[in-house]
Amino acid sequence: MIPVLGFAQANVAVLGLGRSGLATARALRAGEATAVCWDDNPAARAVAEAEGFTCRDLHKQGAFDGIASLIVSPGIAHLYPSPNPVVRAALEAGVPVDNDIGLFFRSIATPEWDNFERLPRVVAVTGSNGKSTTVALLHHILSEAGKGVQMAGNIGRGVLDIDPPQDGDVVVLELSSYQTELARSLTPDVAIFTNLSPDHLDRHGGLGGYFAAKRRLFSEGGPDRAIIGVDEDEGLFLAGQMSMGQVDDRVIRVSSGRKLGGAGWNVFARKGFLSEYRKGRQAGSIDLRAMTGLPGAHNHQNACAAYAAARTLGLAPRMIEGALETYPGLPHRSQTIADEGGVRYVNDSKATNVDSAAKALSAFKKVRWICGGLEKDGGLAALSGNTGSVQKAYVIGREAAKFALQLDVETEVCSSMAVAVERAMADAQEGETVLLAPAAASFDQYDNFEQRGDDFIAEVTARLV
């Protein structure tokens, strides 16, 4: 646990008592603060009270009297589409609003660090797609190299729930736009921006607000190194904003699908090969084509970002290559679950938006595509031109028929996962891939994308036995 610094003997309100909220309350208590907790869910309050925390209805008049700060869980809106009433009350009372990420960065460094030979470092990863894979991949690389490393944030443990890092350790964080937008302190040593595609637009007041939330990790934090995917205009702009000139190697530009030129530090993947160039000269090269844990151009972009971070942390290209070869992949992200009779079965339930689904489709030559769910803002128009590998789509979800009408491929409305898997497996031929890449949220039928992916795995496995 990371004890929260700066609030000793103070009352700090905690709104939302899920994983991050409870971890925050514990870390505040460890830092000798008093956590005043609230969640609209009585069951969540009961869990907190069982641990000895005081719960106070923060909706009531005067609830913020004597409160030093309000700490908000990521899912709670603080601005768009409208502030949560408790957040509004705190702001009207002049109480600062923060989140666990802000507390982490203000508390991570302690006087003990003065005795370390090598200071711990924090790598923070944000972007629309590929964050989890990039974090898990970098964690795997550093672990294989014998480094002390922990991953936290949206993956692994809550940021305040990790162990205090020791001499030379690395903490790798996955940070969503919800987290970067509100955190009052953002000071990573290395910051990574993977890419940008429309997502969470209602929460951020549009695409510009969404990009601005992610940009704060760089503009507010001033990382020693910025690793930036430049395949979208926003990333290209961000790299330009962070760089002081063409040879400024504090910025590492990353791309998938094209060679990057110039005198700076570039890492790119093209035709399945990762290349590193510094000052116009090649410094490393890795063949990614046979690495089953990293299929497709989108995973090659993730590999480039993780490779660049590992290089800034002092690892040699050959060491990184060996670790990439043994990376098993993450559940629900281009996860191969079976290869039977020449047919490959891939679970990419995390492909919850159009951009990530398009990238998943491009990773395979002939696809039996299981898709559908709760459609996100912006519709499915961006899939047009990205479905050339699709032999047929098997559409699930409560509004499967409406979803299917928007696709430019042959479709079959299946509604349930069981029917979709049954039909796709019956149609699949040798050399094809049955791919779950929904291009939609899961909440119309499942609690989360993990549950949806587990259902796909169970249905496939049952029919292969």
DSSP 263: S
Is residue 127 annotated as involved in ligand binding?
Answer: yes
Is residue 229 annotated as involved in ligand binding?
Answer: no
Count Cα atoms within 13 angstroms, Cβ side, for 429: 5
Is residue 133 annotated as involved in ligand binding?
Answer: yes
Contact 438, 352 (CB under 8 A): yes
For the stretch 258-262, contacts whose Cβ atoms lie closer than 8 Å and that sit 24 or more positions apart, written own/partner, are: 258/231, 260/230
Q: Choose among 268, 293, 265, 295: nearest CA to 281.
A: 265
For residues 201 and 440, what is the distance between their CA atoms, to the nearest angstrom?
14
What is the chain's percent helix, strand, coil content, to nearest 5? 35, 25, 40
Is residue 75 annotated as involved in ligand binding?
Answer: no
Contact 297, 268 (CB under 8 A): no
For residues 106 and 320, what is the distance between their CA atoms, to the nearest angstrom?
31
Q: Choose among 371, 378, 335, 366: nearest CA to 352.
A: 371
Is residue 132 annotated as involved in ligand binding?
Answer: yes
Is residue 158 annotated as involved in ligand binding?
Answer: no
In Å, what is the CA distance from 133 to each residue of 16, 61, 155, 181, 405? Answer: 27, 45, 10, 22, 32
In Å, what is the CA distance from 215 to each residue of 114, 242, 307, 359, 399? Answer: 31, 10, 22, 23, 35
The DSSP code sequence of 327-342 is: ---BTTBSEEEEEETT
CB atoms within 10 A of CB 39: 22
Q: Could you list the residues known to form a binding site, using ranges.
A: 127-133
Q: Could you list the residues known to form a binding site for ATP, using ranges.
A: 127-133
